[in-house]
Amino acid sequence: MAVLLAYGPQILSRAVSGAVSGWLAVGTALSGTVPQHNDGMLGLATQANEITVAFAVDLGSALAPDLLGFFNHNITSGVVRVQASNASDFSALIVDELVSVASPNFWKDLRAVTPRTARYWQGLVTGNANAVKLGELVVAQVTAIASYQWEYTDTRDYLEYNYGTTDLGALVRRKQNIVVRSREVRWVGPDTLAETLQAVSDYAGLFPGPVIFVPDDAVNDIWFLDWPEDITRTQVIDNRQAVQIRLQEQSSGAL
């Protein structure tokens, strides 16, 4: 088991709901029929108005990502594939991998896939039960933290709301049906572990946007995090350090 983190320049692409220009319009990808905003059950997710659709991105140059993350979706059936090509129409595939679907977010581990260096990447959804909705598609390289003792002592789920006012100034709260999770996490390891986690904090302060977090690379679950600026270290025996962090998930779907 390893914990995977992606932050700062490791996040190669974020194709974001509500900004259709974030999707590359190739093949069966999003087109002019896609609404800029969607008030469906997933709140922030862009609806493709089709049960088969490809969400594609251009990385600008041929790169080798470690994972693709699918956030805030309504994909419950059909087939999902991760594909990559150096041709913008995906006519010659370098990567073509089947993806297992989970809720609320799922990901595809590409670290063992070779070759995988390509400029254009897409998540192809075929035959979903309903018109496909997807908040964000994230393409990233990762830092793997393995062989260290880690545990979480508390997990809480929160239901995300947005707030507004009526014409008369009354406060209105609308449920977005997006669950935001949090964990109290404790890692124990050598100084190098503490330095790695502090580097994530430093990058999170320099680069806007979330940190990508996979708690267990054997489990199909991926998080957006609001990473804390500072971490708490305590010395333990044998020159090892305990690092405690409260990890708060960030609702995905918009910058």
**Confidence band, pLDDT 50/70/90 cuts, at residue 229:** confident
Q: Where in the chain is the domain with CATH 2.40.30?
A: 145-249
Quote the percentage of the chain above a pLDDT of 70: 73
Phi, psi dihedral angles at 235 (to 5 degrees): -80, 135
CA distances in angstroms from 40 to 54, 175, 178, listed in the order given:
20, 11, 12
- Lowest-confidence pick of 100-104, 201-205, 215-219, 239-243: 201-205
Query: Greater confidence, 189 or 156?
Result: 189
Half-sphere exposure of 218 (CA within 13 A, CB side): 3
What's the token pair of residue 219?
């489990």
Q: Is the pLDDT of residue 160 over 60?
A: no
Q: DSSP labels for 67-118?
A: EEEEEEE---SSEEEEEEESSTT--SEEEEEEE---SS-EEEE-TT-SS--E
- Lowest-confidence pick of 104-113, 162-171, 192-201: 162-171
Please give the mean pLDDT across all residues of the chain: 76
Query: Greater confidence, 163 or 13?
Result: 13
CATH code for the part of the protein at 2-141? 2.60.120.260
C-beta of residue 188 within 8 angstroms of C-beta of residue 228:
no
Number of Cβ within a 10 Å radius of residue 170: 8
| CA 140 – CA 32 distance, rounded (Å) | 27
C-beta of residue 227 within 8 angstroms of C-beta of residue 5:
no
Identity at 161, one-letter amino acid code: Y
Q: Would you state the CATH architecture of domain 145-249?
A: Beta Barrel (2.40)
Q: Where in the chain is the domain with CATH 2.60.120.260?
A: 2-141
Q: Is the pLDDT of residue 219 over 80?
A: yes
Quote the percentage of the chain above a pLDDT of 90: 24
Model pTM greater than 0.85? no
